[in-house]
């Protein structure tokens, strides 16, 4: 047995960081911060691989971009499934 659950920590905090990055990016878009800001550009590069494929299939409804919500939901579901699939103390 490992002294601490390495894979649990990687999954939990890795996907948690992605979810937090998506939240920061969404809030920044509400306040009109564009991608020229280096801080926002970092979050765009981190979250685009998860949002862009969904955006190809789900078009915005009016002014609301549903792809953020779907990507958030899918990442959260993947996190839950991975954490349940890992044996204890892994």
Q: Give dist(CA 13, CA 65) in Å, integer.
A: 26
Coil, helix or strand at residue 6: helix
- Tens digits of pLDDT across the chain (90 residues): 556 788 888 999 999 999 999 999 989 988 888 888 888 999 999 999 999 999 999 988 888 889 999 999 999 999 999 999 988 777
Q: What is the DSSP string of 18-78?
A: HHHHHHHHHHHHHTT--TTSHHHHHHHHHHHHHHHHHHHHS--BTTB-HHHHHHHHHHHHH
Name 64's bridge partners: 61
Q: What pTM was computed for the model?
A: 0.84
């Amino acid at each position: 047995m490992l002294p601490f659950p390495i894979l649990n920590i990687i999954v939990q905090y890795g996907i948690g960081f992605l979810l937090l990055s998506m939240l920061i990016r969404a809030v920044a878009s509400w306040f009109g911060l564009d991608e020229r800001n280096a801080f926002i550009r970092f979050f765009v590069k981190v979250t685009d691989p998860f949002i862009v494929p969904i955006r190809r299939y789900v078009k915005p409804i009016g002014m609301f971009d549903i792809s953020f919500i779907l990507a958030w939901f899918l990442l959260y579901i993947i996190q839950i499934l991975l954490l349940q699939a890992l044996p204890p103390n892994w």
